[in-house]
Amino acid sequence: MNPISSKFCSSSKNISILLRRFKSDIEIRWVQPLRVRIHDPKKSGDLAAYTDPEPSRLRRSYQVLADTDVYKNASPAVKQLLSAEYQNNWQKFKIYKNDMINDVRRHPCDFGSSEASIAALTASIRYYQRLVLVDEYKSKSKAIRNEWKVQLQEMVSRRNGLLSHLRKSDYKRFEWLLEKLNLVYRPSPVDTRNLSRKPAMVKLVNDYCTRTKNEKLEAYKKELEKEQIEFFKEKEVILAEIEDEEKKLELNS
């Protein structure tokens, strides 16, 4: 190898080693933000969680019998068998979903309007959030849990689309529906680029340089304002001396 090239290589290695050992006094740190999962209510905008109906409630298929004499005269054992206490989780979810639809629908046969569809999706979203988050369901296989998360993401996207359409067409009803269902509208972000360290550090350094520059300019401005009084005093003395010299030399005449 040429001695000049070997000397250059050794010097470049030394420079790289020095750069690695160099530590700046400027503390600029980038902390990677925590990823908000799709099953987290903070991302979907649900302020309320799924709750099971009261055990004394009738099944959804037997709610027509609630005001009849047959049900009122039935024995306590029969009423208990017909209640939600002896139903599986899916049947309890149907009662919860039906209650949410009844709160917002426009007429008794309304199951296809935007409000009813959003209420049905909200009930499903909260039910699947409970499936993913609650410990008793964590014994399921990973494939089943991933399937729940995919279904949850699809339902959240569909509900956001319906909310966006309702927001453009009828804003007052959109606000009323959010308050009724205890929701916060969180649309999808416009910029979907993944966060990485390098561009974030460039932005942090630029912000730090701009902030430091403004702080130094402000400090220099205050320092000049303090020296302004002395400057005016010296200026007054110098102007007085110039005026006296002009009088002696009779330059004003």
Among all chains, which residue has been given the structure tokens 């309007």? 113
Q: Token pair for residue 100?
A: 């949410």
Torsion of CA 206, 212, 217, 223, to 10 degrees: 180
pLDDT one-digit tens code per residue, 62-98: 777 777 777 777 778 877 777 777 788 888 888 889 8
- Ranges of each domain in the chain: 41-181, 196-253
- State the pLDDT at residue 190: 74
Q: Residues 123, 100: contact at Cβ < 8 Å?
A: yes
Q: What is the mean pLDDT of the chain?
A: 81
Helices (H), 170-196: 171-181
Cα 135 from Cα 143, distance rounded (Å):
17
Q: How far apart are CA 36 and CA 206, in angstroms?
A: 27
pTM: 0.65
Closest CA to 118 of 89, 137, 147, 97: 97
Q: What confidence tens digit (pLDDT) does each residue in 173-189 have?
A: 999 999 999 999 988 77
Structure tokens given for 119: 């209420």
Residue with the bigger pLDDT between 64 and 152: it is: 152
The answer to whether 160 and 189 are in contact (CB under 8 A) is no
Task: Write out the two tokens for 7.
Answer: 């000397």
| Three-state secondary-structure class, residue 55 | coil
